[in-house]
A and B are shown apart, each in its own frame.
Chain A
Amino acid sequence: MLILLVLACAAMGIPLLALWGDGRRGAAMFIGFNTLTLLAILALAIQVLQDGAFTAGGGQFLVDDLSIVLVLVDGVVGLSTAWFSRNYMLHETVHWSLSRRRVRLYHAMFQTFLATMLLALLTNNMGILWVAMEGATLSTVLLVSLFRTAEGLEAAWKYFILCGVGLAMALFGTILLYFAAQKIMGHGADALLWTHLAAVRHQLEPQVMAIAFIFMLVGYGTKIGLTPLNNWLPDAHASGPSSVSAVLSGLLLNVALYAILRAKVLVDGALGRDFASHLLMGFGLLSLLVAGFSMLRQRDVKRLFAYSSIEHMGLATFAFGIGGPLASFAGLLHMVSHSLTKSSVFFSVGQAVQDVGSREIQRIRGMLEFSPLLGWAFMLAVLFILGMPPSGLFLSEFLIITSTLQAQPWLTPLLLLGLGVAFAGIFPRMQGMVFGAHQEGVARQSVVGIIPVFVQLTLVAMLGVFIPLTLVQWMQHAAQLLHG
């Protein structure tokens, strides 16, 4: 029942925001709804804590150890994004002189996006999962092009077409999945229910499942931003509002990866582990390397961190490809820490960009000087993203490298190359932005908006120093689940 409550909390915001969601009131409502959602999610988590995984709505909805973790992250990031978005959008509204309609659109679409994310995580139906992903895409398209700049339009168009086509492929994969499932479960509504599929996954037709998984991989992989399907990602991140970039990196990529993981469990049952894990390792490593090298020449700060998202998603994908309870655990931890950290990065970057009035790394200087707190927030977030202790990413990378050296010793050099290059790409730019003397014409604004950064970074640090036992158990069970 709580599942429905969560979804309801998220969904009921949509029409209200669409109607009255402009100005300060809209921002307040936005925050309010997300607070409600978060509370509902916490309640849900407590229930899961008490009596484990369970389904609802006639098996249509499912919450288990895998999804609850990501749902929690969704709730937290959603709320902090809402908080950040308040000041941010007030500033943007003035700067771009957005009409009230546009602001309403923004809030409504944002809420839709968050709702669909939750739906994707909480549904038990692979078809609905697809529907939710598509919904999330559509709702973010208009957010990316919110400012109606040529750049924004172009980015949004690419995002729309590429992800649309990608998701079409994913749909084909889903259809094939259903096609395979039919053979065993017969024609019917629950032939797409993940729990049922998982129960019979060993009997699913291998050839069909192979093709189905490839289609889903290409489809959802486009949304994860796996190379070479990632071309939409930097553009969309760069052109949209920073709040949107934050959730794109922080939530959307995670959910896409989540979809693939669900599919992986099934295909593992049908064709054994190697098939999926080789694909995931290949894509992950490729993305890691390509993204790493792409960062060496970035001039645009938001693009820079968009690539870093690709890199981290690649790393997580790689981890799941390595497989085994340890690596899968590490992958999950990586997903969680990454979405918390990366969204913080985008919050601080967004504010810095507003203060300086440019996305060019060259023009952003001396943040510590013109806004110390912002500078610290940004620096810490970036150091965390780079996997410096006590970040949770340090732990996850530690575990990933460890298990890689155990499972695939000869891939570790590539892994380290990717990490090293990424470091060399991001760090000096961060230095230039944080240190030194700032240029004149900087409009410093209050740092209330980036309070969530500190909250989230504290959480990430906690993930690196002392993970609560329940969380550990959830993630371990989830790892077991993925490991099959």
Chain B
Amino acid sequence: MTITAQGLAWGIPLLRLLAALLLLLAFAMLAQRRLLTLIHLLAWQGVVLAAGTALVALLTGQTELWFSAALTLGLKAILIPTVLHRLLRRLQVHGDVEAVLNIPLTLLAGIALVIFAFSLAAPITALTGPVTRGMVGIALAAVLLAFLMMITRRKAISQVVGFLAIDNGLFFAATSATLGMPMIVELGVALDALIGFVILGVFFFQIRETFDSMDLQNLEHIREE
């Protein structure tokens, strides 16, 4: 696919900006204590993701990317966050997310991760085209940060948020690093994400009605002694 000159001129910096935003949001999530804001951040990540996809679509002129951008927007920026929001209220889960590790330490670890991700992606970045330079690194960093967040959170919901954040990182990689996966794959991935999310909802209620709490301690009984 060819990218027009003026496209290169203004498009690439914009894409970089979005990438930076994504990473920033990931950091913010890592630092965030309150569940509600966490979900908002997730939504914003979805928005950025959608924007990125749209931008790539614009630059490369692949029509199906527009579709996937719309899908992303609908699913990741609007639907999922709102539903999570609802769940939160329905299940009366509120208050803070007590982390396993205290926040500053987590952030330090996060920074280390980012450096690691970049150093890892450096050789790859070197050989990528102008558009996608650096994207792999950022996507990888986002994924790892989200992973770290899952590890350091104690509430089921916050883990789910982390899970979705990982998903976002992947999406970003898929769209802006590889300029879009094959459509069929995109569809399958989206479908899985949807089903997964539905199942999550089912789960929350099951967990709720069995343990009447969303705290992970209830889910730590099966163990070898």
Q: Do chains A and B touch in the complex (CB under 8 A)?
A: yes
Which residues does A use to contact B, with CB under 8 Å? 60, 125, 127-128, 130-131, 134-135, 138, 141-142, 145, 148, 150-151, 153-158, 160-161, 164-165, 168, 171-172, 174-176, 178-179, 182-183, 187-192, 205, 207-208, 211, 235, 238-239, 294, 297
A453 to B81, CA, bound (A): 48
Say whether B99 faces chain A, with CB atoms less than 8 Å apart: no
Contacts of A168 in B (CB 8 A): 143, 163, 166-167, 170
Contact B1 A187 (CB under 8 A): yes
Say whether B192 faces chain A, with CB atoms less than 8 Å apart: yes
Which residues does B use to contact A, with CB under 8 Å? 1, 120, 123-124, 127, 136, 139-140, 143, 147, 150, 156, 159, 163, 166-167, 169-170, 173-174, 177-185, 188-189, 191-192, 195-196, 199-200, 202-203, 206-207, 210-211, 218-222, 224
Contact B188 A127 (CB under 8 A): yes
A189-B211 contact in complex given A157-B203, A160-B199, A205-B127, C-beta closer than 8 Å: no
Contact B156 A157 (CB under 8 A): yes
Per a CB cutoff under 8 Å, which of A138, A187, A211 touches B192?
A138
Contact B188 A142 (CB under 8 A): no
CB-nearest residue of chain A to B187: A131
* Pair count A-B, CB < 8 A: 130
A183 to B136, CA, bound (A): 14
Contact A155 B222 (CB under 8 A): yes
Min C-beta distance of A193 to chain B, whole Å: 9
A154-B124 contact in complex given A131-B185, A134-B192, A138-B192, C-beta closer than 8 Å: no
Contact B173 A172 (CB under 8 A): yes
> Which of B150, B188, B207 neighbours the largest number of chain A CB atoms within 10 Å of its CB?
B188
The B interface, classified by DSSP as helix, strand, loop or mixed, is helix
A164-B147 contact in complex given A155-B222, A175-B181, C-beta closer than 8 Å: no
Contact B170 A164 (CB under 8 A): no
Min C-beta distance of A14 to chain B, whole Å: 13
CB-nearest residue of chain A to B195: A138
Contacts of B184 in A (CB 8 A): 60, 125, 127-128, 189
CB-nearest residue of chain A to B196: A138
Min C-beta distance of A232 to chain B, whole Å: 10
A134 to B191, CA, bound (A): 10
Contact B221 A208 (CB under 8 A): no
Min C-beta distance of A362 to chain B, whole Å: 15
Contacts of B169 in A (CB 8 A): 172
A171-B163 contact in complex given A150-B221, A208-B124, C-beta closer than 8 Å: no
28 A-B pairs in the complex with CB atoms less than 8 angstroms apart = A127-B181, A127-B185, A131-B189, A131-B191, A134-B189, A135-B192, A150-B211, A150-B218, A151-B222, A153-B203, A153-B206, A153-B219, A154-B218, A154-B222, A155-B222, A157-B156, A157-B203, A158-B222, A160-B199, A164-B163, A168-B167, A171-B189, A175-B173, A175-B178, A176-B173, A179-B124, A187-B180, A239-B222
> Which of A151, A174, A178, A297 neighbours the largest number of chain B CB atoms within 10 Å of its CB?
A178
A206 to B192, CA, bound (A): 30
Contacts of B179 in A (CB 8 A): 182, 187
CB-nearest residue of chain A to B163: A164
Min C-beta distance of A148 to chain B, whole Å: 6
Min C-beta distance of A237 to chain B, whole Å: 11
Per a CB cutoff under 8 Å, which of B163, B170, B180, B183 touches A161?
B163
Contacts of A182 in B (CB 8 A): 178-179
Contacts of B174 in A (CB 8 A): 175
